[in-house]
Amino acid sequence: MELSCISIRNFRRLKNVIIDIDDKETVFVGPNNSGKTSATTIFRYFFGGRDFKIYDFSVTCIADFEKFVEAKEKDNLPEIVLDLWFSIDPNSIAFGRVFSLLPKLVDLNRVGLRLAYSVKDAKKLHEEYCATCKSESTGKRTKTLYQFLATDNNLSRHWMVRYASLEDDDIAGCKEMPLEPEEGKRLIRHLVRVEFIDAQRDIKDDESSRSNRLSVAFASYYRHNLEQAEFADDAHQVIENHNKELTKHYELQFKPLLGMLKILGVPSINDRELRIISSLSPEKALSGSTELYYIDRDHRHELPEVYNGLGFKNLIFMAIQARHFHSQWLKTEENRPICLIIFIEEPEVHLYAQVQQSFIANIWNVLKQSSELADKPGMMPQLVLTTHSSHILDAVEFEKVRYFLRGDMSNNEPIGSIRSVSTVQSLRDFQPEHYTSDDNNILPEESLVFLKQYLRLTHCDLFFADAAILVEGAAEKLLMPSMIELSAKQLRSNYITVLEVGGAYAHRFEGLLSFLCIPYLVITDLDSVDPIKHSTICRADTENAFTSNSSLKKFYCVKSVSDLMALSEEEKVDNIKNRCVTYQTDILVKENNSECIMRPRTFEEAILYQNFSLLRSKKISIGKKDISDILKDAYDQIYTAVNLSSFKKTDFAMQLIASRERWTVPEYIGLLAVSRG
Q: pLDDT tens across 366-388, in order?
A: 899 888 888 888 889 999 999 98
Residue type, 626: D
Q: Measure the CA–CA gap between 346 and 120, rounded to whole angstroms.
A: 37
Q: In angstroms, what CA-CA distances link 147 with 53, 116, 273, 555? A: 11, 22, 57, 52
Please check whether residues 76 and 186 belong to one and the same domain.
yes
Please check whether residues 468 and 610 belong to one and the same domain.
no
pLDDT exceeds 60 at position 291: yes
> Which range of residues forms the domain containing residue 647?
587-676
pLDDT exceeds 50 at position 201: no
When pLDDT is cut at 50, 70 and 90, the band that residue 210 belongs to is very low
Burial classification of residue 336, based on how many CB atoms lie within 10 Å of its CB (0-12 exposed, 13-18 middle, 19 or more buried): middle
pLDDT of residue 614: 93
Asked if 391 and 353 touch (Cβ cutoff 8 Å), the reply is yes
Beta bridge partners of 424: 404
pLDDT exceeds 60 at position 204: no
Please check whether residues 251 and 178 belong to one and the same domain.
no
Of 283, 308, 333, the residue at which a domain comes to its end is 308
pLDDT of residue 120: 92
Q: Measure the CA–CA gap between 596 and 164, rounded to whole angstroms.
A: 76
pLDDT of residue 207: 45
Please check whether residues 166 and 212 belong to one and the same domain.
no
Q: Where are the beta strands (DSSP E) in 90-215?
A: 110-119, 159-167, 175-179, 192-197
Please check whether residues 106 and 220 belong to one and the same domain.
no
Of 518, 550, 582, the residue at which a domain comes to its end is 582
pLDDT of residue 4: 93
pLDDT exceeds 90 at position 437: no
pLDDT of residue 209: 43
Beta bridge partners of 422: 406
Query: Does some domain include residue 425?
Result: no
Query: Does some domain include residue 314?
Result: no
Q: In angstroms, what CA-CA distances link 282 with 150, 228, 243, 286, 591? A: 50, 13, 7, 6, 91
Query: Does some domain include residue 424?
Result: no
Please check whether residues 98 and 141 belong to one and the same domain.
yes
Of 279-293, 407-421, 619-633, 637-651, where does the model show the most confidence?
637-651
When pLDDT is cut at 50, 70 and 90, the band that residue 102 belongs to is low
Query: Does some domain include residue 317?
Result: no
Asked if 524 and 564 touch (Cβ cutoff 8 Å), the reply is no
Q: Measure the CA–CA gap between 619 and 605, rounded to whole angstroms.
A: 16
Query: Does some domain include residue 143?
Result: yes
Q: Measure the CA–CA gap between 217 and 323, rounded to whole angstroms.
A: 11
**SS3 letters for 243-298?**
HHHHHHHHHHHHHHHHHHHHHCCCCCCCCCEEEEECCCCHHHHHCCCCEEEEECCC
Of 582, 614, 636, the residue at which a domain comes to its end is 582
Query: Does some domain include residue 313?
Result: no
pLDDT exceeds 60 at position 203: no
When pLDDT is cut at 50, 70 and 90, the band that residue 523 belongs to is very high
Residue 551, SS3? helix
When pLDDT is cut at 50, 70 and 90, the band that residue 338 belongs to is confident
pLDDT of residue 309: 63
pLDDT of residue 170: 58
Structural domains of the chain, count: 4
Task: Specify the higher pLDDT residue, 400 or 437.
Answer: 400
Please check whether residues 280 and 163 belong to one and the same domain.
no
Within 10 A of 409 (CB to CB), how many other CB atoms are there?
Answer: 12
pLDDT exceeds 80 at position 249: no
Please check whether residues 255 and 134 belong to one and the same domain.
no
Query: Does some domain include residue 383?
Result: no
Query: Which of 220, 326, 230, 315 minimizes the C-alpha distance to 274?
Result: 315
Burial 77-88 (b: 16+ CB within 10 A, else e): bbebbbbbbbeb
Contacts of 311 (CB under 8 A, 6+ apart): 350, 351, 352, 355
When pLDDT is cut at 50, 70 and 90, the band that residue 165 belongs to is confident
Arithmetic mean of pLDDT over the chain? 82
Residue type, 677: G
pLDDT exceeds 50 at position 468: yes
Q: Measure the CA–CA gap between 232 and 242, rounded to whole angstroms.
A: 10
Please check whether residues 572 and 591 belong to one and the same domain.
no
Asked if 342 and 195 touch (Cβ cutoff 8 Å), the reply is yes
When pLDDT is cut at 50, 70 and 90, the band that residue 12 belongs to is very high
Please check whether residues 224 and 301 belong to one and the same domain.
yes
Q: Where are the beta strands (DSSP E) in 289-421?
A: 291-295, 302-304, 339-345, 382-386, 401-406
Task: Specify the higher pLDDT residue, 453 or 654.
Answer: 654
pLDDT exceeds 50 at position 208: no
Share of the chain above pLDDT 90, in %: 36
Query: Does some domain include residue 53?
Result: yes
Supply φ then ψ for residue 108, to 5 degrees: -80, -5
Burial classification of residue 386, based on how many CB atoms lie within 10 Å of its CB (0-12 exposed, 13-18 middle, 19 or more buried): buried
Please provide the size of the chain in residues. 677
When pLDDT is cut at 50, 70 and 90, the band that residue 268 belongs to is low
pLDDT of residue 99: 62
Say whether the peptide bond before residue 267 is cis (omega within 30 degrees of 0): yes
Please check whether residues 31 and 153 belong to one and the same domain.
yes
The answer to which of 131-135, 407-411, 541-545 has the lowest mean pLDDT is 407-411
Residue 196, SS3? strand
Tally DSSP H helices, then E strands, for the chain: 23, 26
Contacts of 249 (CB under 8 A, 6+ apart): 229
pLDDT exceeds 90 at position 137: no
When pLDDT is cut at 50, 70 and 90, the band that residue 334 belongs to is confident
Within 10 A of 101 (CB to CB), how many other CB atoms are there?
Answer: 17
For the segment 100-109, the average pLDDT, to the nearest whole number, is: 62
Please check whether residues 454 and 504 belong to one and the same domain.
yes
The answer to which of 30-44, 206-220, 304-318, 346-360 has the lowest mean pLDDT is 206-220
pLDDT exceeds 60 at position 212: no
pLDDT exceeds 50 at position 447: yes
